Chain A
Amino acid sequence: MLEALTWLLLALAALFFSAGTLGLLRLPDTLSRIHALTKADNLGLGLAALALLLHAESWAAAAQIGLIWLLALAASATSGYLIARRCLLESHGTPASTLGAPPPGAPPP
């Protein structure tokens, strides 16, 4: 029973990772690729972490796995934000003007 659940979770995780990679390869520009990578990949990581949690030897190990997932979330969210900011910087100019700026390619308001 536990085996089947683990396999299911890992298969779902692989599916999400593949979806993220597909997005990376096929989406047109950097901003949309960031969407695919941060959302799909982190969900895949969460599912994989869940699968590992089922096999954790102790509560400390389970807490470690949870902490790893949270840190990976924070890291990918921050780096996604920084890359997106850099994108806007290159298309709009100074950093101060990028807050609240429309994404490049959107029709002007």
Chain B
Amino acid sequence: MSGVSIWLPTGSALVLFGLLGMLLASSILRKLLAFNVMGSGIFLLLLALRPPGPDGVADPVAQALIITGIVIAIAATALGVRLARRYHQLSGQTELPEDRAATRDD
């Protein structure tokens, strides 16, 4: 495994953290945060699979894909945040009913 990029396990670890965060966290905002971390991990994997070319510039197609991904992720996050705020305004809760548990902090 000579020359394996360190970013492959890093990206996988970020996906793991994000996945755990989305599954286990109860507050909607934390889920959104974990979703973003997971997305960043996948983007890192995308680019880590493309070692930089001879002039040190990374694969342009992968770069374009990741930029597109970042913009789509922000659109989804913004929609999620707005829905969470609206839900909080209407119900006073920061978690969906199925995630709610006793003695919470936020």
When A and B assemble into the complex, do they touch directly, with CB atoms less than 8 Å apart? Answer: no
Q: Name B residues whose Cβ lies closer than 8 Å to a Cβ of A.
A: none
